[in-house]
Amino acid sequence: MKTIVWFGIVLGALSATGKVFITKTGTTTILECGVNSFSRSLTWNKNNDRIYTIHVRNGFEGMPMKGRIPIVTRSKVKEKNLEISKVIVEDAGKFTCEADGQTHHHTLLVVSVSASPSGSLQVGSEATLQCQVKGLDSQPEVQWRRPDKSAHSGSLKPVASSDAGTWQCTISHDGTIHTEDLEIKVTEPTTTKPAPVPSQNSKDGRKTCPGCATHPKSRSDAPLILGLNWWMWLIIGVGCLVVILLIVFVICLCKRIKRKKRKLQMKNSRQLKTPKQYCQCNRPAAVAKPRQGRRRDKSSDLPLQPLLIE
């Protein structure tokens, strides 16, 4: 009888043992509850804070009751498992899934890999590769591997061109191995050409440089006058000359137009001063009209001539 009791206790302990889930920041992970189904209630907790609680009544699941911790806004229950999106470092820790009174404990480890300083590394500089695991009381075993798969401590002093590529962080915890990749970019430092060293002074006191005789000055090396090359001054002078000629032409044209207007006005004034000549026609003068108020003299009656009788 005692054997059967101890066997049941061991089975209950094994069924209550949880899993260790490892993920990295920014991804979506699913925590498995550890049961096939539930008939009365399901509760997910993080440490001692509630995330979701679902009750089953009359065979139907009710509306889930949400907690008030930040992870609630980025998580949801799918059947019996808990899905967390956009994982952050603060999500790491202990999780508990309680289904129909049976409790299962799980652990979420969040891995973050980075290089300090971030971005592209320059040859000859120093950098440190960081592989951090959150969610455990003690730091697990971490091992870096170079792009050629050889082991490395993660400290680059100094950075070489061969360090460019995909580095791998291997994490070991309770017999579970997890790997995360980190892409490293290496750039060559920018080199500046040294300034030419002038040779010894010549006899006339001016400095000479080797190769000046064999390599004449280019157009860009021509002497500057008030900060401008001679050809720029030439262009400015030609432009000014064209503007002056254009102004002189406009002035002459205006004077010529005024002179023509003045001549035209004088000609019109002369024509107005000459008297007008009218056309005279040779015709008899009109008979003077009789004055009013006077009666005309009646003409004397003509003498009557006798009628001739045949």
Residue 271 has what pLDDT?
Answer: 72
Smallest CA-to-CA distance from 144 within 167, 122, 124 is with 167
With cut-offs at 50, 70 and 90, classify the pLDDT of residue 13.
very low
Residue 6 has what pLDDT?
Answer: 35
Query: Which backbone phi and psi does 198 adopt, to 5 degrees?
Result: -70, 150
Burial letters 141-176, b for 16+ CB under 10 A, else e: ebbbbbeeeeebebebeebeeebbeebbbebebeee
- Give 22-65 pLDDT, tens digit per residue: 888 889 999 999 888 888 899 999 988 999 999 888 778 888 88
Which of the pair, 203 or 154, is modelled with greater confidence? 154
Which of the pair, 8 or 291, is modelled with greater confidence? 291
Query: In percent, how much of the chain has pLDDT > 70?
Result: 70
| Rounded distance between C-alpha atoms, residue 169 and residue 153, angstroms | 10
Q: How many CB atoms lie within 10 A of CB 106?
A: 20
Domains of the chain: 17-186 (2.60.40.10)
Mean pLDDT of the chain: 77
Residue 199 has what pLDDT?
Answer: 54
Q: Where does the chain show beta strands of DSSP type E? A: 20-24, 29-31, 41-46, 49-57, 60-61, 65-66, 75-78, 81-84, 93-99, 102-116, 121-122, 127-134, 141-145, 151-152, 155-156, 165-173, 176-184, 186-187
Beta strands 20-24 and 75-78 are unpaired
- Give 150-199 pLDDT, tens digit per residue: 998 888 989 999 899 999 998 887 777 888 899 999 998 776 666 666 55
- Give 236-255 pLDDT, tens digit per residue: 889 999 999 999 999 999 99
Alpha helices in 34-140 (DSSP H): none
Smallest CA-to-CA distance from 124 within 189, 199, 201 is with 189
